[in-house]
A = this chain, B = another copy of it.
Amino acid sequence: MSHSDTHLHHHEEHLQSSDFITDVVIGMSDGLTVPFALAAGLSGAVSSSDLVVTAGIAEIVAGSIAMGLGGYLAGRTEADHYQSELKREYDEVERVPEREKQEVRDVFAEYGLSLDLQNAIADELAKDKKKWVDFMMRFELDLSEPDPNRATKSALTIGLSYVAGGFLPLLPYFFVESPIDGLMWSSVATLICLFVFGYFKSKITGQPPVSGAFKVMLIGAAAAAAAFSIAKYTV
């Protein structure tokens, strides 16, 4: 939300998370949950911790690449979409200015402004094509200009956060023989981390932190319990 710096007092009051924090949350949220639940599922079905570790590593690699590259692709798509809509709007204010002016009026008609005022706004905006197009991009199409390096940064942040989150639940399985022992330590460590993670995530998004922490922890526990039961009874 690049325009927020024009509203300084809101900047402070309305808690906003940066793109970086958002990406860390996206990556770590799945990274803590999915490898944890996969390892839990396998613990109910195999007899060696080594297998859980192998599968866990394969999952972390697969998940971080899929999420990281997926984030990259999403970022590129967003940037391309913005550019193609920008080009279209420049073309339209040139080719069919009256229709574009009508669209400006429509935006304000929705908010009950008088026809006189709608006309005055449309006429003044039309004096500066760049600002007119910027206005249409944001207020008609609801698009804000993406950071050109966002895709790459996003890919790396999401991918690495997934890896960081994913190794924690896997760690105990490195040190024990029996997967069930691994599962016990993994559950304790991961549920604590999910709670702490959920607490901060909720704070960042402006939600009640304690109930948010419980929700995040319960999702992890539910996924692990379901994977454990299903893997156990399908073998």
Contacts and interface: CB of A to CB of B under 8 A. Distances in A.
Contacts of A124: 112-114, 117
Given A14-B85, A41-B62, A59-B34, A125 B110 contact: no
Interface residues of A, number: 86
Given A42-B54, A50-B235, A219 B65 contact: yes
B223 A65 contact: yes
A224 to B, nearest CB: 7
Contacts of A30: 66-67, 70
A106 B73 contact: no
A210 interface: no
Interface in A47-83: 50-51, 53-55, 57-59, 61-63, 65-67, 69-70, 73, 77, 80-81
A87 to B, nearest CB: 12
A24 interface: no
A207 interface: yes
A134 B111 contact: yes
Contacts of A224: 62
Given A45-B58, A61-B230, A112-B128, A219 B34 contact: no
